[in-house]
Structure 1
Amino acid sequence: MSRIVAFLRAINVGGRNIKMAELKTIFETLPVQQVQTYIQSGNVMFDIAASKKKNFHTKIENLLEEQLGYPVITILKDLAQMQHIIEQNPFPDRNPDTHQLYVMMLAQIPNAKQREAIAAISSEVDTYVFLDDILYIRCERNKDKSLFTNMLVEKILKIDGTTRNWNTVMKIASLLSKG
C-alpha cells in the first residue's frame, strides 16, 4: 500500500462547495483505505495498492464529476514526491513576513515555450521557478502588486494545475509521513 494525496482543483471556490465529510465519503467508494481530508481546499490522503495507482487520477476525476456535476482536476503525489518538492524549494531563504510561497502542481510538464511565457511575467514582485511539473511562485505580500493567480498561469501555460501555499505543502507532507 502507498499513502498518497489527491490535490483537487476548484474545491470550495466559486460557489462550488462541498463539506469535507461528504468528500471523504465519495473517496471511500473508491478502492482505497484510510481516507483523510485536510482543510477545505481539496486535499485528500489515502492508502492505495500499488497495482491500482496507474491512471487513478482519472478514476477520481470521473467519480467527482459524476457526484458533483463539474470537472475537478486531480493531481496525485506520494510522500517521496512531496519530500522532493520540499527539498527542491528554490526559495529556502524567503522571508515569510515579506513574501508568500506557493506551489502549483501541474497536470503535465511544460515545454520550453511555455516556460519562457511564464518567465516573461516574472518580476521583482512575482518570481516563478519550474521543477518538472511543479511551479514555485514567490510573491511579495503586497497583494496590490502581485499578479499571480492560478487562472493566469493556466491561461499562459494551457495546462491545468492546482496551487497550495507553502504551509499547506509542509503540513500535507508531514501527515503523509505519519501514515
Structure 2
Amino acid sequence: MKKFFLVLLVVIAVSCNGNAQKNQTKSSAKYNVSKTDTEWKASLTAEQYAVMINEATEPPFSSELNDIKTPGTFVCAACGNEVYETKYKFDSGTGWPSFDRAIKGGVAYGSDSKLGYSRDEVHCANCGGHLGHVFDDGPKETTGKRHCINGVAMKFVPKTK
C-alpha cells in the first residue's frame, strides 16, 4: 500500500509539470522580450513558431534568403533584432543561409543534444528565438565558423544609400 501511494505521488508530481509551463514566458529573466506561448503563436506564422519556439528546422533550400547577396542586415523575424550582415554571408552548399559570424551582441549561444550529440545552438539575444546552429566547418580564411540559420527565423533589410 505504501508503494502505491509513493508511485501515485510521483505520477501526480510529474504530471503537474506537463501543462503548467505552456503559457509561461520563454526565459523572461534572460531576454529583453518575453511573451507567453499564446502571444508567440499570435505574432509568428506557424512555420516561424515551429522553428523559433519549438526549435524545429526548416527544409533545406526552402528559404528565399539563401540567394540574397545585396548589402543589408538580417533581423530576427520575431523581434527585429539585428543578427547578421550580408558581408558575413557565404554559400555553404547546405541549403540554409550561412554566415561566418553574427553581429556583435545580436545572438546568444546555448547547446542542444536532441540528435544524440551536443551542438552549439544560436538564439536571438533579444527575444530568445531559436535561429539555428554553429559548426566548425566555415571558411578557414575568416572565422572557421558556419552559423547555419533557418531563413524563416529572419527577415532581410536592404542597406539604404
What TM-score, normalized by structure 1, do the two folds share? Answer: 0.24
TM-score with structure 2 setting the length: 0.26
